[in-house]
Amino acid sequence: MTKPRSTPCSFETLGHRFPLARTSGCVAFLALAIMVLASSAQATSSLTTSELPAVQQALAGLAVPFEQNTGQFAPEVAYLARTFAGSVFVTRDGRLVYSLPGREI
């Protein structure tokens, strides 16, 4: 078994050194997603039928800006999105990895 590379963004290294932080980050991300979905469901129920198309059109234009990895991140990373709540990585093997805010990328 080879030892993982020691880069700031090496997922294997982070997973072995900070398993609790990684798990906590995933839990925090899921909790945030659930809160957003719950609040949007509550907001949708208070909209009138005439307001709904305008809200749907406004939300359809929102996007998470993913950056393609052209060598600026670890080779395992295909795309990265920086958000107010941390960073989201899409790995080349299709995994989503959440990084807490304040961590070096």
> Splitting the chain (105 residues) into consecutive groups of 10 residues, what average pLDDT does each group show?
48 48 58 66 64 83 85 93 87 91 73
Instruction: Output phi, psi for 59, to 5 deg.
Output: -70, -30
State the pLDDT at residue 7: 45
pLDDT the model gives residue 50: 83
Is residue 21 included in any domain, yes or no? Answer: yes
* pLDDT of res. 40: 58
Q: What pLDDT does residue 15 have?
A: 46
- Its domain, for residue 93, covers 11-46+64-99
> Facing residues of 96 across strands?
90
Q: What is the DSSP string of 79-103?
A: EEEEETTEEEEEETTS-EEEE-TTS
Residue 52's φ and ψ, nearest 5 degrees, are: -60, -50
* Residue 76 to residue 97: CA distance in whole angstroms: 11
Looking at residue 20, what is its pLDDT?
47
Report how many domains make up the chain.
1
pLDDT value of residue 26: 56
What pLDDT, on a 0 to 100 scale, did the predictor assign at position 4? Answer: 47
Instruction: Look at residue 13 in the predicted model and tell me its pLDDT.
Output: 46
Q: Return phi, psi of residue 97, to 5°.
A: -125, 125
Q: What per-residue confidence (pLDDT) applies to 16?
A: 47
pLDDT of residue 77: 94
Please list, in sequence order, all residues whose beta carbon lies within 8 angstroms of the beta carbon of residue 6, skipping any fewer than 6 positions away.
Answer: 13
For residue 4, tell me if it sits in a domain: no
